[in-house]
Structure 1
């Protein structure tokens, strides 16, 4: 957190909001990544736009990382994974797999992920999205307080 830069945060947030607006205005769809990804298997009738959106998401992230290597990770500090807590005795890949599975289950049960609820749902004044955001931010705050990892 010591490398907070309001300019890159504001620019990134603006681009995410713009992307959500473009998808909604141009395609009538909410930019919830878990919903977009989740409808690929089994293939929905709308698989083409979902693939194009996801490929563009990954490709532009890769391009931005190559063009601006220090942007968003703290200047000259290279992005790296945090190691799993040693007290649990789990290797980092297992820890990440568990985290990924819990995230996937949570997005299915909660009918959306952080992008769907946090960006699009709150903008639509959805009560369900407000509850989801309050809960996942609360859990994130507790996790940081307990682990001390930011």
Structure 2
């Protein structure tokens, strides 16, 4: 078994959501989410998006980004309205810096990601609140995942 790279990637992580976010940002120091140049809408979108990264135990590889997008759409209360977040100029700016078609290529190179992620989201006990998640910041990730029925992306990795 492959060991999880970060504690928040483990299904049974005892970290709180806030601690998982700190670890996520420490692992990805180039993410500028509180930049004064971001619109309030973009800040909210990225905050919710980054929380999905932590909850679903995803890094920032292209396959993990695909999992986050699908999980945001199908496993949160945001549903299809999440797609609006990908139209902010700040988000579009990020995509212009990625290799062309990299998300599509990631999905095509690992087609099971789509089916597995959609299956896992359909099996959740309830959808994660896309915006109203403040009350969960001090709750251990393992408890949140149990409450919502969230299975991390790489559940086969050892803790």
- What band does the TM-score fall into relative to the shorter chain? 0.3 to 0.5
More helix by share: 1
TM-score for the superposition, normalised by structure 1? 0.36
Highest CA radius of gyration, 1 or 2?
1
| Higher RCO, Cα 8 Å, sep 6+ | 2
